[in-house]
Amino acid sequence: MVRYPEKREKVLGLNRKKKKWVPVMLVLVLLTGISAFAFKDKFFRINLTDSSVATLRVDGLFCPACPPKVKAALEKIPGVISADVELSTERAIVQFDQEKVSPQVFAKTISELGNGGYRGTVLVVRKGIKQ
């Protein structure tokens, strides 16, 4: 048994100085969360009134590794807001800014992937989508 009070505090971890930081850290975490919530609209606002959605048929999707490659290539195109590629339906759905890019660019990009192993065809384009 430890008989000296200062050693007892060290052994049992009863250091009083550490407890002073708990309220300070709690306040900092709360302020960070509140400020992030207050300014989210300023940083994450996307004007979706000019966006369109294109549906493309993607021929050549044979394995589960294919859709992520096509999706990554589509999302690298300037003006693309989001892309989703499904293996089972062989379809790609691309939301994009119609003032910056046209759907034919998507078909061309898909056709250039995988040494020409894929072929993209534009099926439907819906303009002026609001979400």
CA distance 128 to 25: 46
The DSSP output letter for 52 is E
pTM for this prediction: 0.60
CA distance 131 to 82: 13
| pLDDT of amino acid 58 | 93
Between the two ends of the chain, the Cα-to-Cα distance in Å is 68
- The alpha-carbon radius of gyration of the chain (Å, integer) is 27
pLDDT in tens, the chain (131 residues): 556 666 666 666 655 555 677 777 778 887 777 777 666 555 555 555 568 899 999 999 888 888 999 999 999 999 999 999 999 999 999 999 988 999 999 999 999 987 778 999 899 899 876 54
| pLDDT of amino acid 13 | 62
Tokens standing for residue 32: 């960070």
Question: Other CB atoms closer than 10 Å to residue 105's CB: what's the count?
Answer: 20
Please return the burial class of 50, using the count of CB atoms within 10 Å of its CB with bins 0-12, 13-18 and 19+.
Answer: middle
